[in-house]
Amino acid sequence: MRTRKLRDFEVSAVGMGCMGFSHGYGALPPEDEAIRLIRSAYYDYGCTFFDTAEGYGPYVNEELVGKAVKPFRDKIILCTKFMPEVFLPGQEIPEGKTSRRGLRNSIEASLKRLQTDHVDLYYEHRVPRHRDVGEVAQWMGELIKEGLIGGWGISEADADQVRRAHEVTPLTAVQSEYSIMERKYEKEVIPACVELNIGFVAFSPMASGFLSGKYDSKSVFKGDDVRLAITRFNKENMDANMPLLDLLKQFAADKGATPAQISLAWMLNKWSNVVPIPGMRRDERLKENLGAADIDLSADELSKLEDALSKITIHGDRKDSDIQNKLGTVKVHAKS
């Protein structure tokens, strides 16, 4: 497995997003199977970057990941997140979730669930509406000095917020949705991260599975599946987005790869600071997604792909509020 740098951390070029083992994408694998897959990602493919969050489940995903990575905890970069302005069960405190005490309560509880004495990378899961990003950055700096976290990150931030937070306590990474179908962060945020030596971690790099080419308008999504709230998965939009899959299949055939691998290789070859964290719940997905790290696109190939993509219109999008309402696992409080 090739590696790249997220500021001071060296990680596998493709990481593992673990949310799907606990919720968000329909039927779940048994716990022992999820643990086996996480361990296989490390032992068989060299993945050293694992991502979870207190809100996944909530709580159960951190417990699962903690069990899975325990045999090699000191060999990997382990990431989790706290959700500002969102109270999960048992978290309501007078100062509010987005406070020095709220942040400390969250990290201490996460460490217990993860069975570790520190988290390598600790994210603010979304930018708070009622706090200055610099204030949270200060509290993160305090946790770094205490050794509870190795570095910190922020999710779904704009370029100004990234710069403001970074001035107070240098950011290790920014984590936001990024894929061939969602490219809004290319204009300002990713270039700012390159300039400031901040990593960019791409969640949903497969556009919630659409770019794998394994779904079409006849696919059925049930239960807490987030795709029921993502308009890209409306029947009309899935049909309208098929030209994108046709393009990826063409490039994949030329490279002896899969559409999923081309989708990941595209961002890996385009940016030196981007690390995608796709979800992987089957052995073939481990091999496919982690194998994308070894696919090289020449400057000419990347240019041709970009040119072809510029001629394709993407239909539908993703809205966090809709997904949160669909999952129904957290309650948002106005105070903070």
Radius of gyration in angstroms for the set of CA atoms belonging to the chain, rounded to a whole number: 19
- 222 by Cβ neighbours in 10 Å (0-12 / 13-18 / 19+) ranks as exposed
Q: Could you tell me what percent of the chain has a pLDDT over 90? A: 81
Q: Which residues are catalytic?
A: 56
Identify the pLDDT of residue 332.
Answer: 31
Residue (of 12, 7, 62) closest to 42 by Cα position: 12
Q: Is the pLDDT of residue 140 over 70?
A: yes
Q: Output phi, psi for 69, to 5 deg.
A: -90, 0
Is pLDDT larger for residue 324 or for residue 207?
207
Would you state the structure tokens that stand for residue 231, as one six-digit string? 């308009």
From residue 225, give the alpha-carbon distance in Å to each of 110, 255, 278.
Answer: 25, 32, 16
pLDDT band at 319 (very low <50, low <70, confident <90, very high): low
Q: What is the pLDDT of residues 203-219, one digit of tens each?
A: 999 999 999 988 888 89
Q: What is the pTM of this model?
A: 0.93
- Domain ranges for the chain, please list them: 3-212+264-295
3-state SS class at 325: helix
pLDDT band at 330 (very low <50, low <70, confident <90, very high): very low
Range with lowest mean pLDDT among 55-69, 82-96, 191-205: 82-96
Q: What is the pLDDT of residues 274-317, one digit of tens each?
A: 999 999 999 999 999 999 999 999 999 999 999 999 999 999 98
pLDDT band at 253 (very low <50, low <70, confident <90, very high): very high
pLDDT band at 320 (very low <50, low <70, confident <90, very high): low
Q: Which CATH superfamily is domain 3-212+264-295 in?
A: NADP-dependent oxidoreductase domain (3.20.20.100)
Q: Is the pLDDT of residue 331 over 70?
A: no
Residue 3 Cα to chain centre, angstroms: 17
Identify the pLDDT of residue 281.
Answer: 95
Average pLDDT, integer, range 227-235: 90
Q: Is the pLDDT of residue 101 over 80?
A: yes
What rounded mean pLDDT belongs to the chain? 92
3-state SS class at 81: strand
Q: How far apart are CA 130 and CA 133, in angstroms?
A: 9
Beta bridge partners of 9: 6
Is pLDDT larger for residue 47 or for residue 93?
47
- 204 by Cβ neighbours in 10 Å (0-12 / 13-18 / 19+) ranks as buried
Q: What is the DSSP string of 254-322?
A: HHT--HHHHHHHHHHHH-SSEEE-----SHHHHHHHHHGGG----HHHHHHHHHHHHT--------HHH
Q: Is the pLDDT of residue 195 over 80?
A: yes
Range with lowest mean pLDDT among 57-61, 93-97, 151-155, 254-258: 93-97
Cβ atoms of 200 and 173 closer than 8 Å: yes
Average pLDDT, integer, range 60-86: 96
From residue 64, give the alpha-carbon distance in Å to each of 36, 61, 150, 302.
Answer: 11, 5, 21, 38
Residue (of 1, 3, 26, 6) closest to 273 by Cα position: 6
Q: What is the pLDDT of residues 32-60, one digit of tens each?
A: 999 999 999 999 999 999 999 999 999 99
Compute the Cα dihedral for 290, 115, 6, 135 and give only its sign.
Answer: positive
